[in-house]
Amino acid sequence: MGYAAFILQYRVPIKYEGALQDAQRAIRIVRENAKKWDLDPEKIGIMGFSAGGNLSARACTNFNKKTYTPVNKADSLSCRPSFTLLIYPAGLDRGPNGTLTPELELSNDVPPFFMFQTADDFVGKSSLVMAGA
């Protein structure tokens, strides 16, 4: 069908800085190898479920932050995802009084994202806060 998927084994639990470093590096590695893997480097996205949804949200809002020392030429490429899928994301509502987590800075440069949430999920407020922001 023309889709390729990669699974990222990132640092958890509660290792937010390391997890974001892992996501940024992974996007850059996929982008660097796009031609070899017959991918469009402008169509590299990220999808995460629950804690992975939190990481995906941070990857799509913090792509301008340099989180690690460059390793090789891949690190000169953009780590901005072209799109993001947040599937029942957790922890997006950790701001004052349950507002958007301050680290998630929304701007016109944030790539488009799709969110999926179920009503019976105990962290469902997280998606509502992100959608409202």
Distance CA 31, CA 119 (A): 35
Instruction: Delineate the domains of the chain, giving CATH numbers in brackets.
Output: 16-132 (3.40.50.1820)
Tokens of 109: 């440069």
Q: How many CB atoms lie within 10 A of CB 1?
A: 2
Average pLDDT, the chain: 95
Distance CA 45, CA 72 (A): 21
Binned at pLDDT 50, 70 and 90, residue 98 comes out as very high
* pLDDT for residue 2: 82
**% of the chain surpassing 90 pLDDT:** 90
pLDDT for 127 beyond 90: yes
Average pLDDT over residues 75-94: 97
- pLDDT tens digits, residue range 36-64? 999 999 999 999 999 999 999 999 999 99
Whether 55 and 26 have beta carbons less than 8 Å apart is answered as no
